Amino acid sequence: MRRIRDMMRSRAGELLREGTVNRVLGWKNGEFYYDPNPAVFETEESLDGLVYNGFSAAMLSKYLIDATKKEGRILVFLKPCDTYSFNHLLREHKVNRENTYVIGVGCDGMLDIEKLRTLGVKGIKSLDENGDDLVAHTLYGDKTLARRDILLEKCLSCKGSEHKVYDELAVVDDPWQWDTLDRFAKVGELEGMTPDERFAFWRGELSRCIRCNACRNACPVCSCLKCVFDNPRSGVQAKSNADSFEENMFHIIRAFHVAGRCTDCGECSRVCPQNIPLHLLNRKFIKDINAFYGEYQAGADVEGKSPLTEYKTGDVEPSVVYERGGA
Amino acid sequence: MQKIGVFICWCGSNIAATVDVEAVAEAVKTEPNVVFSTNYQYMCSEGGQSAIRNAIAEHGLTGIVVCACSPRMHEATFRKAAAVAGLNPYMVEIANIREQCSWIHKEKSEGTEKAIILARAAVAKLNRNVPLFAGESPVIKRALVIGGGIAGIQTALDVADAGYEVDIVEKTPTIGGKMAMLDKTFPTLDCAACILTPKMVDASAHEKINLYTYSEVESVSGFVGNFTVNIRKRARAVNSDLCTGCGVCVEKCPSKSAKSEFNQGLCNRSAIYIPFAQAIPNVPVIDRDACIKFKTGKCGICEKVCTAKAIDYDQEDEIITKQYGAVVLATGFKPISMERYDEFQYAQCPDVITSLEFERICNAAGPTKGKVLRPSDHEPPKTVVFVQCVGSRATVDCGKTYCSKICCMYTAKHAMLLREKYPDTEAYVFYIDVRTPGKSFDEFYRRAVEEYGVHYIKGMVGKVAEEDGHLIVQGSDLIADKQVVIKADMVVLAAAIEPDPTARSLGTMFTASMDTNDFFTEAHPKLRPVESPTAGIFLSGLCQGPKDIPDTVAQAGAAASKVIGLLSKDKLMGNPCVAGCSEPLCNGCSSCELVCPYGAITYEDKMVIDHGVRETRRVACVNEAVCQGCGACTVTCPSGAMDLKGFTNLQIMAEVDAICR
Amino acid sequence: MPINEKGGAFNPLIVAFCCNWRSYAGADLAGSSRLNYPVNVKVIRVPCSCRVNPLFILRAFQRGADGVIMCGCHPGDCHYTSGNYFARRRTALLFSMLDFLGIEKGRTRVEWVSAAEGAKFANTMNQFAETISALGECKRLEDIRCVESEI
Amino acid sequence: MHADEKRLTEIIIRTSGVNVRKCMKCGKCSATCPNFAEMDIRPHRFVSMVEEGDIAALLQSKSLWRCLSCFACVERCPRGVEPAHLIEAVRMEVVRPQGGNRLRPEAIPALLDESIPQQLIVSAFRKYSK
Amino acid sequence: MKFSYYPGCTLKTRASELDWAARAAAEALGVVMEELPEWQCCGAVYPLARDELATRLSAVRALDSAKQSNQQLLTLCSACHHVIKRVNNDMQTDADMRAKVNDYLELESPYSGETTVVHYLEMLRDAVGFDKIKERVTNPLKDRKIAAYYGCMLLRPSGVMKFDNPENPSIIEDFISSIGALPVRYPYRNECCGGYVSIEAKNISREMSKKVMSSAARRGADTIVTACPLCLYNLNENGTGEIPVVYFTELLAEALGVKAREGGLVHAC
């Protein structure tokens, strides 16, 4: 990752210098080593603060909605999975491609600080990242870890190392690769439960929602200027999670609004302070869409219709839900 | 603040027997903003309507709820009554307490309770109603007919006779279409040319009709009443204004090896040609692929022989832009390709021909001057086998699932004509079913059998093999339960028909929807058979589905009457219950544009003021004249920017809340 | 007969969204044919099944509906040519999601009813009401706070 | 229909995978069958008899042993019905039960000659025995 | 170019010369035919009944074996080709069959129709190219008028076989042209010769073979060429005998000037 970071710094510097871009959207260190924040760099000097490590999970695509409205061109670093969301935003005319310069950056999979904590790793000062081998320098000494054990949930079912869109690449020839898991495994597990069990599961999860809207803010597809849940004219404006249904309604509708558009980036779950597995709702829609209407990956390309804006005369009937068995 | 009046109808005893109308009137009084309620024996009667009018005036009502029969029955009546009293007609809501209440429930208590809830829902909705005003748009008093076959000609003539201008765009060099290629027509056996050419002449001579032959529609914009169409008039390389149609150029042209399209490739034509003698306009066209001048730069004979100086090698395509109030699609059909039917040896044996080719062979102006001769050796056939349903009613990939409708009749005609001209020639017809549902059709078919001695064999042909100059036709005779082998000299295939391939792109251009077979779909299969679901687009002839000449002419006339109905209006009143976009909310995602079946939504960069901030945004714009109000866009819109007037999100949710309370 | 919490007979509350052109007319025909169906089926008229927003369906449940059914033109027969095709995809996905959340499957239904199918409308409503009665009151999506209308 | 025939019809439809209702009775299968003369029940009749559940007669039919499996009927059918598959399914009902084998291993040596290809024996054995 | 090769029973025994000619010709054309290890008989007929599981297994074993070596599966006998291609299609399209077969075979990884099955003729047309063959021919069969006999197995059902136009095929005619001879077209080249019933009812096979052979003869053919060992046997055994019937690999070897094996190239019968 360090090699890539150096490539990023030097290319960004060059592009700024030669005037190809006016600004750079990347990550800078946060309060701790493990919370790099998205940041805009305007000068070559400031690029010393550009970081890229196992905690640079925050997707930058969505920041481009505002960033590309400004004059001039902005350089953005996109990990392979981030490019799907970028494509989606292009499809919906949310970002201005001409004002963007995309450098696709290689990725070894992003890390889950919670998993590190669970493993007893605290007080991280920095990491030495070398493929699967990872050494955490902490206040309490060094710890050696296997990267695969601490990958973020969303990285366990990585979409692969291909960038779907870029102007140039900053990748290494020998990236670390890991075995990915079936992204629908958990959805399938839930489908196998009884409705009572499922209801209990979701009640348990969703009742923790504090309606902080982090999921909505991080989501590259939830890019409405004003959300229906904030709009008094919508009839469904919601104020707080005063009851058991509000969050159900919010999360069902949010998942429905992004159905057929969700790139499965996993940011919703990653940013959720309550650790609600919100991505499962989206994956349920994706799994159904794939099964009912054919495989579809939002953001794989910019053109064409999405599953909910097209139809086939021979589509399955809604009763398929009852016919496919289960309780 | 609204002032709502509620009117409960007894409908005699239809409602009053199961619903306590007094109780309903009483119950709704406590609903928000209800200032008046009453009941009456027949609300739809003059007495009832005047009660409404009086109450509106007396109580200064801003909206009314009528609890009565289905809105499908009297919504229009009550809206008119309200309008007379100066109320916006869209401030009227109907609670259906007859069909959906009193008629289905027996217990009065139940019926009353439900009627109250339905009334409450209507009040809840009305509380969120706003006055709606139908938009108006002007109507351009000119129609465009695409396709110059019998369907297009007939529609154009009927519309023009009503006094409106009509333009016909025809892609070939002449009008006349497929009918011009036919010899005789069933069931009367009158000559196709004899009945068609006078109509062609009428069309060309009509002062209100303008022909654009050798032309195609290039693009279209606009909507019902006001389409703007670009027509590409392809260069004939002959100046139509100067040409006298003498035909000397055609005669002298040294390049005579192009296949004659009009004669189905059975004979050749010159590079400069007039498709057939009665072509309209009678102006030749140069086929640039065949012309020596265009290919090599040398020749120029036609130019030399033309005394009118009409030949113009430098002529270029011309784009004509015109406005139309209505568009008629009359793009017609073609027989399907027989390439995938090699069991019949169509591509291998010249004596295996299609029915349309047989028409040309029968025709006095055709390649054999009307003598039925085999294409291979120009000998008269002694035995001819006709095979029906080739590619029709087939579910395998190379065929068409539908019945082509015309083949049974023209095959009977062909066999009859053959036996009439050549009594010594045997005619066999292999059929699956003989379908003759038309006036004098079955009698016609029976004449072929009984008077002309045509052998009808129920069965199908499995294989045709050429042996020793004959066509060995192996087929089944299902009645005799045997396999028959006929030594034939000619085999005629009744090829299935399909829409002309140009229809697809026109369908996309005009957002005229098509079925899976590329036939245009009707606005309603029974009740609106000549209209496309897209307003202002009408359908004439085979482009809508297989039909014979009488049906085509009838449908062409029907399409014309619909066009006349539209053009006779100066202005079109739109349906005010259309979609509308709240621009500050629109996030420009294009989802609505993708689901709109009418192409009513476009995206524009507009100055939007949102919380005092002015910025240019890409927002959805609804063309209210085109929108039909289905609401597909409103649900696909994630931000709720798109809403449907008359059925807004808030209105429907108010109903839900009222019902579920 | 199932009993509700208050001890009375349980009459399931069913909200039926019907498209104006076919299904609403089919419901009218059921009425003019005097075909009975449960009193607690309440019809909301929408121009087309594609106007039915998932929000409306959830709202109905939120406010205490025990079942929600959507009726539209038969596929291929939509007044607006394609509305019901979109509605079909939306509802298939939404219902599947509700099932995924543990809402009993039988509480949601889509039925294509033409203007000529009065009997089908009545039969459908009878069957649906039976299914819902068997399931009992819907509590899983109800918002207790909203029982009293806030608007 | 006899209960047993009904059961057999279902089995035949299932094992053949043929939807006999798709047949529009055009007779192209019989028109195309190269061995029509030898078939006591013609291909088109075969289809409609399965549709009618008239299985007893089919089980006795000479056609079971005269179908050449040349697939001409399958290829040319405009409705995608596969008559040859039905014939095979009925033949299976004859040869699968105990003692139903038409070709017994003992009979094979007598059939052999110098030139007869293995595949002929194998295929005959496969088709006529189980 | 390297293929996994499935010879089949007849070509491995009675008609081994034809197999030898195929291998020799392939070698001359730079094609490597790697015989599958321990292949089993394909069963000679494709089981039309959908509940026939066991009779599909050997074909799947052959297909999976080719998949393991990551090669296309080359067949020579048209019956084997027919069976293996159709079973492969079942494995691609019939989920139920796929599940059952995989359950039964317990392969290392499930087989679901990944292998491409090519007939020797398809290999000549698509992988080598008839133009290339024309260049390699050292002994063009000039002045020979050869009629192709396709039979049934290669062409039908065309939806699955995807071999050539089922009613008007041209691959063997193109092959004949490529080796310098004149192809003779005649109407019955894709009609059945009655091979299957020659054990049951020889009279039928005679009738049908006669129809085929005399039609070719009337068109002036001096030889009939076929790609099916059973047709070869049947036309020779039960035809009118007016023209010789040969296997296509024999002609190919001859045209390529491949030295005859000891004892010479002899007919299968």
| Residue A150 lies inside a defined structural domain of this protein | no
Touching check for B348 and chain E: CB below 8 Å?
yes
| Residue A195 lies inside a defined structural domain of this protein | yes
Calculate mean pLDDT across residues B464-490.
95
| Residue E17 lies inside a defined structural domain of this protein | yes
- Cα dihedral sign for B455, B456, B457, B463? positive
Token pair in block for residue B91 = 């401030």
Nearest CA in chain C to A192: C100
Would you state the pLDDT for residue B86? Answer: 94
| C-alpha span between C76 and D111 (Å, rounded) | 61
For chain D, percent of residues with pLDDT exceeding 90: 69
Touching check for D117 and chain E: CB below 8 Å?
yes
- Which residue in the set B72, B513, B661 is minimally distant from C81, CB to CB? B513
pLDDT digits (tens, 9 = 90+) for B408-425: 999 999 999 999 999 999
Question: Quick one: E114 and E144 in the same domain?
Answer: no
More confident residue, B274 or B625: B274
Calculate mean pLDDT across residues B256-265.
95
For chain C, percent of residues with pLDDT exceeding 90: 63
* Banded model confidence at residue D126, pLDDT cuts 50, 70, 90: confident
Touching check for C115 and chain A: CB below 8 Å?
no
More confident residue, A207 or C83: C83
**Quick one: B537 exposed, middle or buried, by C-beta within 10 A (0-12, 13-18, 19+)?**
buried
Question: Quick one: A95 and A241 in the same domain?
Answer: no
Closest-CA distance, D128 to chain E, in angstroms, reads 10
Q: Do B632 and C82 touch (CB under 8 A)?
A: yes
Calculate mean pLDDT across residues B128-140.
92
Question: Quick one: A69 and A206 in the same domain?
Answer: no
Helix (H) or strand (E) holding B114: helix B108-126
Among B516, B602, A305, B521, which residue's Cα sits nearest to residue C86? A305
Q: Do D27 and B461 touch (CB under 8 A)?
A: no
Question: Quick one: E143 and E44 in the same domain?
Answer: no
Question: Residue C4 pLDDT > 60, yes or no?
Answer: no
More confident residue, D112 or B453: B453
* Banded model confidence at residue C148, pLDDT cuts 50, 70, 90: very low
For chain E, percent of residues with pLDDT exceeding 90: 77
| Residue A209 lies inside a defined structural domain of this protein | yes
Query: What would the 3-class secondary structure string for chain E be?
Result: CEEEEECCHHHHCCCHHHHHHHHHHHHHCCCEEEECCCCCCCCCCCCCCCCCCHHHHHHHHHHHHHHHCCCCEEECCHHHHHHHHHHHHHHHHCHHHHHHHHHHHCCCCCCCCCCCEEEHHHHHHHHHCHHHHHHHCCCCCCCCEEEEECCCCCCCCHHHHCCCCCCCCCHHHHHHHHCCCEEECCHHHHCCCCHHHHCCCHHHHHHHHHHHHHHHHHCCCCEEEECCHHHHHHHHHHCCCCCCEEEHHHHHHHHCCCCCCCCCCCCCC
Would you state the pLDDT for residue C147? Answer: 38
Question: Quick one: E6 and E77 in the same domain?
Answer: yes
**b/e burial code for range A299-311 (CB count within 10 A of at least 16 → b):** bbeeeeebbbbbb
Would you state the pLDDT for residue B388? Answer: 97
| C-alpha span between E193 and E210 (Å, rounded) | 8
Question: Residue C150 pLDDT > 70, yes or no?
Answer: no
Question: Residue B401 pLDDT > 50, yes or no?
Answer: yes
Touching check for B308 and chain E: CB below 8 Å?
no
Closest-CA distance, A53 to chain B, in angstroms, reads 33
Among B331, B317, B633, B319, which residue's Cα sits nearest to residue B509? B331
Touching check for E220 and chain B: CB below 8 Å?
no
- N-terminal to C-terminal alpha carbon distance within chain C: 34
Among A43, A61, A55, A133, which residue's Cα sits nearest to residue A104? A61
Among A30, C13, E73, which residue's Cα sits nearest to residue B657? C13
CA E117 to chain centroid, in Å, comes to 12
- The CATH code belonging to domain B334-498 is 3.50.50.60
* Banded model confidence at residue C3, pLDDT cuts 50, 70, 90: very low
Question: Residue E265 pLDDT > 70, yes or no?
Answer: no
Among D78, D22, D71, D69, which residue's Cα sits nearest to residue D47? D22
- Which residue in the set C15, C34, C54 is minimally distant from B104, CB to CB? C34
Among C48, C40, C88, C87, which residue's Cα sits nearest to residue C65? C40
Would you state the pLDDT for residue E213? Answer: 95
| C-alpha span between B204 and B210 (Å, rounded) | 7
| Residue E159 lies inside a defined structural domain of this protein | yes
Give the mean pLDDT of chain B.
95
CB atoms within 10 A of CB B171: 18
- Taking only residues 465 to 494 of chain B, the set having a beta carbon closer than 8 angstroms to any beta carbon of chain D reads 474-476, 478, 481-483
Would you state the pLDDT for residue E261? Answer: 56
**Contact criterion met (CB below 8 Å) for B559 and B538:** yes
Interface pTM, i.e. ipTM: 0.67
Question: Quick one: A33 and A86 in the same domain?
Answer: yes
- The SS3 assignment for C131 reads helix
Would you state the pLDDT for residue E260? Answer: 59
Question: Residue E262 pLDDT > 70, yes or no?
Answer: no
Please name the residue that has the structure tokens 């609204």. B2
Question: Residue B472 pLDDT > 50, yes or no?
Answer: yes
Which regions of chain B carry the CATH code 3.40.50? 4-126
Tell me which of A191, A227, A248 to substitute to probe the interface with C (most C C-beta atoms closer than 10 Å): A248
DSSP H helices in D34-100: 43-52, 55-59, 72-76, 83-95
- Which residue in the set D27, D77, D79 is minimally distant from B476, CB to CB? D27
Q: Do B585 and A226 touch (CB under 8 A)?
A: yes
Would you state the pLDDT for residue C145? Answer: 43
* Banded model confidence at residue A246, pLDDT cuts 50, 70, 90: low
Closest-CA distance, B247 to chain A, in angstroms, reads 52
Touching check for E187 and chain B: CB below 8 Å?
yes
Question: Quick one: A281 and A311 in the same domain?
Answer: yes
Would you state the pLDDT for residue A209? Answer: 87
Residue type for E104, please? Y
CATH of D3-96, picked from 1.10.1060.10, 1.10.20.140, 1.20.1260.10, 3.40.50.2300, is 1.10.1060.10
pLDDT digits (tens, 9 = 90+) for B551-582: 999 999 999 999 999 999 999 888 899 999 99
* Banded model confidence at residue A131, pLDDT cuts 50, 70, 90: confident
What's D69's DSSP letter? Answer: -
* Domain coverage including residue E107: 2-120
- Cα dihedral sign for A122, A124, A127, A131? positive
Contact list, D88 vs chain E (CB under 8 Å): 48-49
Would you state the pLDDT for residue B222? Answer: 81
Question: Residue C57 pLDDT > 50, yes or no?
Answer: yes
Q: Tell me, yes or no, whether chains E and C touch by having 3 or more C-beta pairs under 8 A.
A: no
Partners of chain D (3+ Cβ pairs below 8 A): B, E
Question: Residue A241 pLDDT > 70, yes or no?
Answer: no
- Which residue in the set C34, C43, C79 is minimally distant from B100, CB to CB? C43
| Residue A176 lies inside a defined structural domain of this protein | no
Calculate mean pLDDT across residues B504-511.
86
What region does A178 belong to: left with phi over 0, alpha with psi -120 to 50, or beta?
beta
Q: Do A317 and C92 touch (CB under 8 A)?
A: yes
Question: Residue C33 pLDDT > 70, yes or no?
Answer: yes
More confident residue, E199 or B401: B401
Partners of chain B (3+ Cβ pairs below 8 A): A, C, D, E
Question: Residue B210 pLDDT > 70, yes or no?
Answer: yes
pLDDT digits (tens, 9 = 90+) for B579-611: 999 999 999 999 999 999 888 999 999 998 888
pLDDT digits (tens, 9 = 90+) for B508-518: 888 787 887 99
What region does E168 belong to: left with phi over 0, alpha with psi -120 to 50, or beta?
beta
Calculate Rg over the CA atoms of chain A. 21
Question: Residue D111 pLDDT > 80, yes or no?
Answer: no
Question: Residue A239 pLDDT > 60, yes or no?
Answer: no
Please name the residue that has the structure tokens 């150029």. B249
Number of domains in chain E: 2
**Quick one: E268 exposed, middle or buried, by C-beta within 10 A (0-12, 13-18, 19+)?**
buried
Tell me which of A231, A254, A313 to substitute to probe the interface with B (most B C-beta atoms closer than 10 Å): A231
Contact list, E191 vs chain B (CB under 8 Å): 463
| C-alpha span between B402 and B393 (Å, rounded) | 5
Would you state the pLDDT for residue C6? Answer: 46
Lowest mean pLDDT among B179-193, C96-110, D103-117, E138-152: D103-117
pLDDT digits (tens, 9 = 90+) for E166-211: 999 999 999 999 999 999 999 999 999 998 888 888 899 999 999 9
Calculate mean pLDDT across residues A30-35.
89
| C-alpha span between C81 and A211 (Å, rounded) | 40
Number of domains in chain A: 2
Angle, CA C77 vertex, CA C73 and CA C82 arms, to 5°: 90
Question: Quick one: A12 and A159 in the same domain?
Answer: yes
- Taking only residues 7 to 66 of chain D, the set having a beta carbon closer than 8 angstroms to any beta carbon of chain E reads 14-17, 34-35, 38, 65-66
Question: Quick one: A216 and A250 in the same domain?
Answer: yes
Token pair in block for residue A210 = 């504090």
Touching check for B594 and chain A: CB below 8 Å?
yes
Would you state the pLDDT for residue A242? Answer: 53
Which regions of chain B carry the CATH code 3.50.50.60? 142-234+317-332+500-567, 334-498
Question: Residue E269 pLDDT > 60, yes or no?
Answer: no
**Quick one: B375 exposed, middle or buried, by C-beta within 10 A (0-12, 13-18, 19+)?**
middle
Q: Do B465 and E168 touch (CB under 8 A)?
A: no
CA B394 → CA A57, A277, B401, B403, E157, distances in Å? 57, 52, 5, 9, 17
pLDDT digits (tens, 9 = 90+) for E107-133: 889 999 999 999 999 999 999 999 999
| C-alpha span between A300 and A311 (Å, rounded) | 19
- The SS3 assignment for B69 reads coil
Would you state the pLDDT for residue C34? Answer: 93
**Quick one: E94 exposed, middle or buried, by C-beta within 10 A (0-12, 13-18, 19+)?**
middle
**Quick one: A36 exposed, middle or buried, by C-beta within 10 A (0-12, 13-18, 19+)?**
buried
* CB-defined contacts B:E, below 8 A: 22
Question: Quick one: A217 and A306 in the same domain?
Answer: yes
Lowest mean pLDDT among A242-251, A281-290, B114-123, E84-93: A242-251
Q: Do E43 and D126 touch (CB under 8 A)?
A: yes
Question: Residue C8 pLDDT > 60, yes or no?
Answer: no
Token pair in block for residue A82 = 């981030």
Would you state the pLDDT for residue B514? Answer: 81
- The SS3 assignment for B46 reads helix
Question: Quick one: E16 and E85 in the same domain?
Answer: yes
* Banded model confidence at residue A324, pLDDT cuts 50, 70, 90: low
| Residue E239 lies inside a defined structural domain of this protein | yes
- The CATH code belonging to domain B4-126 is 3.40.50
* Banded model confidence at residue E268, pLDDT cuts 50, 70, 90: very low
For chain A, percent of residues with pLDDT exceeding 70: 96
* Domain coverage including residue A26: 2-110+155-170
**Contact criterion met (CB below 8 Å) for E119 and E215:** no
- The CATH code belonging to domain B142-234+317-332+500-567 is 3.50.50.60
Nearest CA in chain B to A312: B516
Would you state the pLDDT for residue A172? Answer: 87
**Contact criterion met (CB below 8 Å) for B205 and B156:** no
Q: What is the CATH number of the domain that holds E155?
A: 3.40.50.1860
* Banded model confidence at residue E267, pLDDT cuts 50, 70, 90: very low
Would you state the pLDDT for residue B223? Answer: 82
CB atoms within 10 A of CB A122: 12
Would you state the pLDDT for residue C151? Answer: 35
Question: Residue A247 pLDDT > 80, yes or no?
Answer: no
| C-alpha span between C51 and B578 (Å, rounded) | 12
Touching check for A178 and chain C: CB below 8 Å?
no
- pTM equals 0.72
**Quick one: B198 exposed, middle or buried, by C-beta within 10 A (0-12, 13-18, 19+)?**
exposed
**Quick one: B523 exposed, middle or buried, by C-beta within 10 A (0-12, 13-18, 19+)?**
buried
Fold of B579-645: Alpha-Beta Plaits (3.30.70)
Number of domains in chain C: 1
Question: Residue E41 pLDDT > 90, yes or no?
Answer: no
- Which residue in the set A224, A231, A258 is minimally distant from B587, CB to CB? A224
Q: Do B348 and E215 touch (CB under 8 A)?
A: no
Question: Residue B40 pLDDT > 60, yes or no?
Answer: yes
Would you state the pLDDT for residue B156? Answer: 98
Calculate mean pLDDT across residues B83-106.
95
Question: Residue B16 pLDDT > 50, yes or no?
Answer: yes
Lowest mean pLDDT among A190-204, B162-176, B322-336: A190-204
**Contact criterion met (CB below 8 Å) for B38 and B49:** no
